[in-house]
Amino acid sequence: MHNDNSRRERSRIRLMRKACSSWFAAGVIVLVSGAAPAAQTAPSNGLRAYVTDTEGGKTVLWITPSGQTVLVDTGNPGERDTGRLMEAIRDAGVNQIDFLISTHYHGDHVGGMQELAKRIPIKVFVDHGPTVEEREQVPGFQAAYKELYGKAQHIVVKPGDTLAITGLDLRIVAAAGQSLKTPLPGAGQRNPTCASFTPKDITNDPENGQSVGYLLTFGQFRAIDLGDLLWNKEYELMCPNNPIGTVDLYMVAHHGTDSSGTPQLVHALRPRVAVMQNGTRKGAGAETMPTLRTSPGLEDVWQLHWGLNAGIEQNSAGVFVANVDGAPAPSTAAGPAAAGPGTPPHTPAYWIKIVAQRDGSFTVSNSRNGYSKTYTIRK
């Protein structure tokens, strides 16, 4: 009897193993009876983006469903921003950067590149060409950068160029002071806001006007990011006709400062959502915020920081703000007291995450409070 039981048990085990092998081959997850299932992240065919906090600098990490990565800018020099970016990279499960786009050569955009390159492989470096400023904001950067891209691949882009990314159309719309002239399919209509444009005399920091700007299309989802493209250059891009059309997501230009963000750009793009890479004292400008909030079809403004410039009237509600170190206490009706000079950066630093689907729907979430909002397909 014992031998019969043993044979039956061995036979049962063989059948179970055979069944499990078939299930695994078919992609079925098998849980052993009596064992607690481990927490898992459901697989997604979405496009992901991490907008990390660089205290008014810039960095955005895009991850395609196929696992390819596009990093736009690297924040300020030093461990703070590089460490925060690496946290997002680890959270995303990324082990290399396929494309690193440097919008321009200011320290809050390229300062972290040299340190980042020590920590993760970077395959392709993308930029607008040589700097137009004699004084480097990051000392020795151009020489160090040349050494980095000399060991990899280097692409200098111009408007109309695309990057070879599976399942994604990433099209350059501005670079080296030039803008897209041939309208994209479905675009090219007259921009009625152009008649009310007022130019601004902005002559300092000319690298801003050289910014690489791109339109990212994933199925029906469209996002635009223009780096620090300046006010008058935005007009050149969008007037007299709109060559881009409308977008779902607008990465607010130039951190939300008032030297960018014309109504001619924002209102013609008609974004549903704006994500602002501002700092407590940088961006969220007195002109920018009302321009955003009066843009036709805009639903929400998500901010990396509660901005002192916007005050209590124009800042978004707390659920849409990732870092609130500058926000007023609930009992402070007149707004927050200004932090003193040399105030250390807050810890931890929180990011804003975006997950977009091919049908045009997308979800934006705040890592500080876990709040997320899904924007369904636009009719």
Q: To the nearest whole percent, how much of the chain has pLDDT over 70?
A: 84
Query: pLDDT band at residue 44, thresholds of 50, 70 and 90?
Result: low
Q: Give yes or no for residue 69 having a pLDDT over 80.
A: yes
Neighbours of 365 (CB within 10 A): 18
Q: Are 248 and 269 in contact (CB under 8 A)?
A: no
pLDDT tens profile 316-345: 999 999 999 877 765 443 444 444 344 456
What is d(CA 58, CA 54) in angstroms, rounded to the nearest whole number? 6
Q: Give yes or no for residue 7 having a pLDDT over 80.
A: no
Phi, psi of 206 (to 5 degrees): -65, -20
Can you read off the two tokens belonging to residue 355? Answer: 């997950």
pLDDT tens profile 148-195: 999 999 999 999 999 999 999 999 999 999 999 999 999 999 999 999
What is d(CA 239, CA 103) in angstroms, rounded to the nearest whole number? 22
What is d(CA 205, CA 183) in angstroms, rounded to the nearest whole number? 29
Q: Give yes or no for residue 31 having a pLDDT over 80.
A: no
What does the pLDDT read at residue 90? 97
What does the pLDDT read at residue 100? 98
Can you read off the two tokens belonging to residue 70? Answer: 């596009």
Can you read off the two tokens belonging to residue 153? Answer: 């691949």
Asked if the peptide bond before residue 290 counts as cis, ω within 30 degrees of 0, the response is: no
168-175 and 273-276 strand pairing: unpaired
Q: Give yes or no for residue 14 having a pLDDT over 50.
A: no
State mean pLDDT over 218-222.
97
3 state SS of 30: coil
Q: Which residues of 116-130 are buried (b: 16+ CB within 10 A; e: fewer)?
A: bbeebebebbbbbee
Q: Are 179 and 128 in contact (CB under 8 A)?
A: no
Rounded to the nearest angstrom, the gap between the alpha carbon of residue 21 and the centroid of all alpha carbons in its chain is: 41
What does the pLDDT read at residue 32? 27
State mean pLDDT over 25-51.
48
pLDDT tens profile 105-130: 999 999 999 999 999 999 999 999 99
Beta strands, E only, the chain: 47-51, 60-63, 69-72, 97-101, 122-127, 153-156, 162-165, 168-175, 178-179, 189-190, 213-218, 221-225, 241-242, 249-251, 273-276, 300-305, 321-323, 352-356, 362-366, 372-375
Single-letter amino acid code for the residue at 238: M
Q: Give yes or no for residue 283 having a pLDDT over 90.
A: yes
Comparing CA positions, the residue from 284, 294, 279 lying closest to residue 314 is: 284
Give the sheet arrangement for strand 97-101, strand by strand: 153-156, 122-127, 97-101, 69-72, 60-63, 47-51, 352-356, 362-366, 372-375
State mean pLDDT over 5-20.
43
Q: Give yes or no for residue 20 having a pLDDT over 90.
A: no
pLDDT tens profile 78-88: 999 999 999 99
Q: Give yes or no for residue 94 having a pLDDT over 60.
A: yes
Q: Are 167 and 198 in contact (CB under 8 A)?
A: no
362-366 and 352-356 strand pairing: antiparallel
What is d(CA 356, CA 372) in angstroms, rounded to the nearest whole number? 13
Residue entry with tokens 């992901």? 48
Cα distances (Å, whole numbers) of residue 222 to 47, 109, 159, 309, 358: 11, 23, 17, 29, 10
Q: Give yes or no for residue 212 having a pLDDT over 80.
A: yes
- Which helix or strand (DSSP H or E) is residue 84 part of? helix 79-92
pTM: 0.85
